[in-house]
Structures are given as structure tokens and as C-alpha cells.
Amino acid sequence: MRLSSALAVLLLSLPSFATAERLQVRLATLEWPPYVGASLTGQGYAAQVIRTACERRGVDVTFDLMPWARALMLGLRGDVAGVMPEYRNAQREAEFAFSAPFPGGPVGLYKRHGDAIAYAVDPGRDLDAALRSVARHRIGIVRDYINNTTFDRADYLDREEAANDSVNLRKLAHGRVDLVFVDRWVAEYLLQNDPLLRDAKIEMLQPPIEEPALHVAWSRQSEAAAAARPLCDEGFAELQREGTIDRLRERHGLAPKN
């Protein structure tokens, strides 16, 4: 039956309630404040950056917090769309498809105040030589973390694994290791918020090793990840242009205090 012209005009003038279906993705992550945390504002800086970037392009992201080893396993299998936040390196690139970068924080080695430990060479000029100059010291690392390519390949280092950064920093404070590899903002957050670390006298060995970018490591086994990745990358670029990421860094305490 043909609609009358008046009725057709009326129908065309009514608002449409049909909207494009948004893509839903699930990312696995860990408690790593101030970057990610269940009790943090927006679930942390990294979670807020990723969520905001992806939402700009019609991708809704939820975060499942769990041990990092389990997050990696689920991402490799495609049971989640990816894992975050991650540093880029050859090992992970063989396993995951990486997002566009967004800023992280300085990483390096922490020591106890007063300990006579120093690099013989600026790590920015020759990281291998700098690491060799501290190789006699025991260094705490977190199990299954990517740290820095040169550091991770340095088989001459005496490394000792722990479950997380809190445990490592406590071991450092109590003299069970001599150095700890950790992100500056993670260390500062824990020193302020972990009751067992509030009296710890530790500091980063200067200068930092590097300031690596953070990424979403998208699963290569997930169709949702393949669809979401280019959309979210567009969102990251937009946030960078607007200065939104810089504002989020400041809001979450990840910007240096002048």
C-alpha cells in the first residue's frame, strides 16, 4: 500500500532512534597504579586514555584486572581483545599487534638512599656499559614484565624475580636486593600509598634509563581487536592533538612538578 504524501512527509520528519551499533571490546590488565587500578579515578591514567580514545570512534572498552601472566595468556589466545598497558619490543610484537603510542613515565633503577651505587657511563649514551658498571648488584624485577630491550637481554645481570613492584620495593628497602627496575610514577605512588613503604628511603639512580611509550597490545586472534585497533588509533591521534592526554597526565599525577 502506498503511503499518502502527507503521511510520508510526517514520518520523514520524526526523529530517528536507530543508532549505529558500537563495538564492544574487553581488555585484560593488572593493578599497576597510577596507570591502572580498580579504585583509581577512571581506573587510572592508562585506562582513561584508552577508554576515551576508543569511545571517540565508537568502541566501548571494558577492563578486566587480573595477574599479568593470566592477562598475557588470555590475550595470546584471543579470549580478550588485548592487554594493556604494554611496552613495545620485538618479543611482544611477534605475539600482538600494537596500538599507537601514548606517553608513559621514566623507567630506571631504584636504590636505597646513601648506597654508593652509580653508573660509570650515562645510560643515555651507552646503556650496555652503564648496566655493566652496576652488574655486581642484585636487581629486582617483576615476573613476566617487559622492561627495556637492552636490560632484558643483559645476561650478565644478577636479576631476582618478584610478583609485583610493591614486593620488589619492599625487598629493596630491607636490603634483600640492591636495585629495582621500576617506573618512576609507579614507585612514587607506592611510596605514598603502600603502608609498608611510607618510611622507605629509596631513590631512582640518575639519569633514568628511558621514558618508553605505552600501548594496547591487541590480540592477533581476535576479530574485535582487528576492528577496534585502527579506530582507537584515530582516537589516540585526536587526544594528542587536543592536548587531552597531557591534561590526563597532570590529573593523575604523572607530570613532573616544576
CB neighbours of 105 closer than 8 A, spacing ≥ 6?
183, 184, 185, 186, 211, 254
| pLDDT tens string 182-210 | 999 999 999 999 999 989 999 999 999 99
Q: Specify if 11 maps to a domain.
A: no
Q: Specify if 257 maps to a domain.
A: no
- Determine contact, residues 137/143, Cβ cutoff 8 Å: no
For 210, other C-beta atoms within 10 Å of its C-beta total 19
pLDDT at 59 over 50: yes
Give 257's pLDDT tier (boundaries 50, 70, 90). low
- Determine contact, residues 30/67, Cβ cutoff 8 Å: yes
Residues 51 and 112 in one domain: no
Domain span holding position 171: 107-204
Residues 52 and 67 in one domain: yes
Count of structural domains within the chain: 2
pLDDT value of position 20: 60
| Percent of the residues in the chain that have a pLDDT greater than 90, as a whole number | 88
Q: Can you tell me the mean pLDDT for 231-242?
A: 97
pLDDT value of position 62: 98
Residues 46 and 112 in one domain: no
Give 105's pLDDT tier (boundaries 50, 70, 90). very high
pLDDT at 7 over 90: no
Residues 88 and 150 in one domain: no
pLDDT value of position 216: 98
